[in-house]
Structure 1
Amino acid sequence: MKFNMKQKQAWTGVLFISPWIVGFFVLVAYPLYKTIYMSFHNVSYGNKSGWSYSWAGVENYTRILFEDVDFIVEAQDFFVTTILYVPVIIALSIIIAMLLNQKIKGTAFFRLLFFLPIIILNGELMENMSTYGGMSISANKVILDMIYTIIPYENIVVLIVSIFDLIVQLLWYSAVPILIFLAALQKINKDMYEAASIDGASAWTSFWKITLPTIYPLVSLCVVFIVVFLGNFDANPINSMILESKYDGSRRDGYSSAMAILYSFIQVLLISILFLATRSRKSRRN
């Protein structure tokens, strides 16, 4: 059987994406179907009988939403925190990316400093660093004593420590967005800034008229990444709740599956809200 040129190109494209198609059905579609299926069942496992499923309907969902309030409380905290964190992370990432894009001494060192979380990104590592004083002033008695010496007021010290801890967290979360924005900044034609400068545009005007419109389409991409990253970070307490429910004799896999589905729905809702809020005017018109 002979194929013409268009058919050959079509089959070539299919062959190229076939690993992704196989991976999607094996690693995404089937686990998602299995999770949804188990969420409507009470699941148990026996050494002799193996896995057994008994239909529970929406019992698992009802129990999560109306009886066990722990998930609802954590989900509300996650929703509000993400809504507040995302704009700050985006703004901080753009500012740092612009600073790292400058031709100054030590740029390579500072880039490595901010990109280090990409290399060693791990929730357990971050939790250990926080425990042993690497991520929080409050765990480091030497620095804390120095601050109390300078500022003897406990309320002010607590505020300073909280702000510092928050900034460190946000910088940790900003690593990948910084990399994305920096790559976009490096592709901007420098002649545009020179032409704007000749026309009398200030640096502030150039930012609003050249820099921001150029990198703004990537904001939506960063929004999706940040929400997914915050939602699936190892230190997120909801992930621990889902894992612990799986091994809880009174809950098991059906309950944890229902919790995972609800949590996924919350993440999709957050992505939709923030994506629609940050998309460009051109995309809205289209």
Structure 2
Amino acid sequence: MKLSMKQKKAFTGVLFISPWIIGFLAFVAYPLYRTIYMSFFNVMFGNKTGWSYKWVGLENYKRILFEEIDFVVAAQNFFISTLIYVPIIIALSVIIAMLLNQKIKGKSFFRLLFFLPIIILSGEMMENMSTYGGMSFSSNPLILDAISIVIPSASLVKLIVSTFELIVQLLWYSAVPVLIFLASLQKISKDMYEAASIDGASKWVAFWKITLPTIYPLVSLCVVFLVVFLANFDTNPINGIILESKYDGSRRDGYASALSILYTFVQIALIGILYFGTRSKKKEAR
């Protein structure tokens, strides 16, 4: 059976993506189906009876949304904080990437400084550090005493320390976006900046006309990464609610599955809002 050139190209393309298709069917499609299926049941497990499923319809969803609102409150907090944090993280990432792309002494050290935490620290380690005060400057009396010498107001000291803790946390989340933007910046030809300089363009103008248009298409990629990263980070309280519900005798796997489905919709809504709000708005050539 002879194939046309178009069919051969299509067959070759299918072969290239076949590992992804197999992985999706094995590790995504079936677990997703099982999660959706169990969300409509009260799932129980017994040593003698094994798994048992009792149809409850939308009862799990009603409990989550209207009765036990711990998930609703946590989801609202996550939704609002993510809408605020993601643009700030992206802006910080662009600034840091531009600084790391400059010809400065110790450039390799500064790059390592930003990338090392996300490589060596897992979410569990960061959660333990947060629990025992390793990520909190407010629990360190030396830092508080040093700031109190300069600023006697206790409320202002607390505000400064909280702000600094937030900045450190945002810098933690910006490591991968910095890497993405830095890779894009290194692909910009220096000749473009030299030509712009000869034409009288300042560095500020060059940033808006050359740098930003080049890296802007990657903003959407960073948006998707950040939402998924923040949503599935171990310190996110929503993940704790889902995990605890799985082992709660009054909730079990069906309730936890419904939580997971609703949480997925929250993430999709966030990605949609941030993606369409930051995507490139270039007009197509007519």
Indicate the SS of the match to 2:169.
helix
1:140 CA displacement: 1.8
- Residue equivalent to 1:150: 150
Paired amino acid for 1:166: L
Q: Write the deviation string for residues 97-138 of structure 1: whole angstroms up to 9, x where unpaired.
A: 000000100100000011113312422211222344432211
Counterparts of residues 85-124 of structure 1 (less than 5 Å): 85-124=85-124
Counterparts of residues 46-125 of structure 1 (less than 5 Å): 46-125=46-125
Counterparts of residues 268-283 of structure 1 (less than 5 Å): 268-282=268-282
In the alignment, the residues of structure 1 paired with residue 78 and residue 4 of structure 2 have an alpha-carbon distance, to the nearest angstrom, of 54
1:284 CA displacement: 8.3
In the alignment, the residues of structure 2 paired with residue 218 and residue 117 of structure 1 have an alpha-carbon distance, to the nearest angstrom, of 23
Structure-2 change in CA distance of 1:21 and 1:283 (3 Å): farther
In the alignment, the residues of structure 1 paired with residue 209 and residue 56 of structure 2 have an alpha-carbon distance, to the nearest angstrom, of 57
- Residue equivalent to 1:245: 245
1:47 CA displacement: 1.1
Q: Write the deviation string for residues 27-69 of structure 1: whole angstroms up to 9, x where unpaired.
A: 1000000000000110001112111111111000000000001
1:143 CA displacement: 1.7
- Residue equivalent to 2:129: 129
1:3 CA displacement: 5.5
- Residue equivalent to 1:174: 174
Indicate the SS of the match to 1:282.
coil
Higher mean displacement: 29-38 or 113-122: 113-122
Higher mean displacement: 137-146 or 244-253: 137-146
Paired amino acid for 2:219: V
- Residue equivalent to 1:26: 26
In the alignment, the residues of structure 2 paired with residue 133 and residue 284 of structure 1 have an alpha-carbon distance, to the nearest angstrom, of 52
State the identity %.
74
Higher mean displacement: 62-71 or 11-20: 11-20
In the alignment, the residues of structure 1 paired with residue 285 and residue 121 of structure 2 have an alpha-carbon distance, to the nearest angstrom, of 38
Structure-2 change in CA distance of 1:166 and 1:285 (3 Å): farther
TM superposition score normalised by structure 2: 0.95
Counterparts of residues 162-241 of structure 1 (less than 5 Å): 162-241=162-241
Q: Is the 8 A contact 1:246 1:252 kept in 2?
A: yes
Q: Which runs of 4+ in 1 moved over 3 A?
A: 1-13, 131-134, 283-286
Count residues in correspondence.
286
In the alignment, the residues of structure 1 paired with residue 176 and residue 283 of structure 2 have an alpha-carbon distance, to the nearest angstrom, of 24
- Residue equivalent to 1:255: 255
1:45 pairs with 2:45: yes
Gaps of 5+ in 1: none
Q: Is the 8 A contact 1:41 1:54 kept in 2?
A: yes
Paired amino acid for 2:264: S
In the alignment, the residues of structure 2 paired with residue 94 and residue 67 of structure 1 have an alpha-carbon distance, to the nearest angstrom, of 43
Paired amino acid for 2:231: G
1:175 CA displacement: 0.5
Indicate the SS of the match to 1:226.
helix
Indicate the SS of the match to 1:281.
coil
Q: Is the 8 A contact 1:42 1:253 kept in 2?
A: yes
Q: Is the 8 A contact 1:216 1:280 kept in 2?
A: yes
Gaps of 5+ in 2: none
In the alignment, the residues of structure 2 paired with residue 121 and residue 178 of structure 1 have an alpha-carbon distance, to the nearest angstrom, of 17
In the alignment, the residues of structure 1 paired with residue 29 and residue 42 of structure 2 have an alpha-carbon distance, to the nearest angstrom, of 22
Indicate the SS of the match to 1:117.
helix
- Residue equivalent to 2:139: 139
Q: Write the deviation string for residues 121-165 of structure 1: whole angstroms up to 9, x where unpaired.
A: 422211222344432211222222211222221011101110111
In the alignment, the residues of structure 1 paired with residue 245 and residue 257 of structure 2 have an alpha-carbon distance, to the nearest angstrom, of 9
CA RMSD of aligned residues (A): 1.8
